[in-house]
A = this chain, B = another copy of it.
Amino acid sequence: MTMRFFATPQDAEAAFYDAIERADLDAMVAIWAEDEEVVCTHPNGERLSGFAAVRESWRQVFSVGPRASVRLSDPVRREGILLALHCVHEHYTVPGEETPRPPVIASNVYVRGAQGWHLLSRHASCAPGAVAADISATLH
């Protein structure tokens, strides 16, 4: 498994959402800070800690294959020297669904290391009105 180099938090963010749209597990894994204590909370989920647990959760999310496209809105970004916070609303579009889904609220924190910027923490939750019952239902 090879970490990719991301020169900016924006680069890591773009790769993160690209990996989601393509349901590309290798690409997703390469975005996380492998040497850090990563945490990830999917919508309606528990907090997952550690690289293995986070990786497995995305494997499950992606197991149904690529289905959703995602558009971001309402960014609130604050960047430090070592850490960067990106709060966004994620709007998922699934082919065949006529009613737009409520957005997912995401707070993503990136960390800078020797390999550039990577995702350290993701906290996602459904905006009110969402009825997703599990990870896959939310992201796909």
Contacts and interface: CB of A to CB of B under 8 A. Distances in A.
A31 B89 CA distance: 25
Number of copies: 2
A139 to B, nearest CB: 15
Interface residues of A, number: 32
Contacts of A46: 105, 127-128
Dominant secondary structure at the A interface: strand
A76 interface: yes
Contacts of A128: 44-46
Interface of A: 36-37, 39, 41, 43-47, 49, 74, 76, 78-85, 87, 89, 105, 107, 109, 111, 120-121, 123, 125, 127-128
